């Protein structure tokens, strides 16, 4: 059952947003009355798309989900959560390696903001192998990414890579 005041955050780099991300966002949007897709400006990652471009691509991809908004950010997740009155972080976990990394982040976020919990969602079987890195690699080498990303993302990705 949804709490009337609960805000959750689904953070990531989303370079670019994939159908795997959208699957998790869609499922999380059913669990929380307000879900923020928080797109990180991470100076430690070299992204193909700018923060503004990633926000625009994601916004278009989830515009059909009325309780979801997309916001770019460049600070600590705990600070972002505080600013937006969020108490839950939603993360997708595909492998045990993902889990170990995400567990560390969850513990750090909770150390920084004691009321900030993290919930892990498993991707659907059909989406579990998809990552932004794999999508970019397949596209770069001429493979078909039609079933991996929304059409508008495919169009922009192919423009960027050619």
User: Can you read off the two tokens belonging to residue 15?
Assistant: 């370079």
> Do residues 117 and 110 make contact, with C-beta atoms less than 8 angstroms apart?
yes
The response to whether 93 counts as a known ligand-binding position is yes
The response to whether 77 counts as a known ligand-binding position is yes
Length of the chain, in residues: 162
The response to whether 129 counts as a known ligand-binding position is yes
CA distance 25 to 23: 6
CA distance 91 to 61: 18
Report the catalytic residues.
21, 45, 94, 132
The response to whether 14 counts as a known ligand-binding position is yes
User: Can you read off the two tokens belonging to residue 99?
Assistant: 């889990």
Q: How many CA atoms lie within 13 A of 121 on its CB side?
A: 25
**Residue among 38, 63, 39, 68 at smallest CA distance from 51:** 39
The response to whether 32 counts as a known ligand-binding position is no
The response to whether 50 counts as a known ligand-binding position is no
CA distance 80 to 62: 20
The response to whether 131 counts as a known ligand-binding position is yes
The response to whether 21 counts as a known ligand-binding position is yes
The response to whether 20 counts as a known ligand-binding position is no
The binding site consists of 13-14, 21, 45, 77, 91-94, 102, 127-133
The binding site for ATP consists of 13-14, 21, 92-94, 102, 127-133
The binding site for substrate consists of 13, 45, 77, 91
């Amino acid at each position: 059952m949804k709490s009337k005041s609960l805000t959750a955050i689904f953070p990531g780099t989303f370079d670019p947003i994939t159908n795997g991300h959208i699957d998790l966002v869609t499922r999380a949007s059913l669990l929380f009355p307000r879900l923020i897709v928080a797109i990180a400006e991470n100076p430690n990652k070299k992204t193909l798309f700018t923060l503004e471009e990633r926000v625009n691509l994601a916004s278009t991809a989830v515009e059909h989900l009325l309780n979801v908004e997309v916001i770019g950010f460049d600070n600590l997740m705990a600070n972002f959560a505080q600013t937006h009155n969020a108490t839950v972080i939603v993360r997708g976990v595909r492998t045990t390696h993902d889990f170990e990394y995400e567990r560390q982040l969850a513990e750090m976020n909770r150390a920084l903001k004691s009321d900030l919990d993290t919930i892990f969602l498993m991707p659907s079987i059909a989406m579990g192998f998809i990552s932004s890195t794999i999508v970019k690699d397949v596209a770069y080498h001429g493979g078909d990414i039609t079933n991996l990303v929304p059409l508008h993302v495919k169009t922009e990705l192919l423009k960027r890579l050619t």
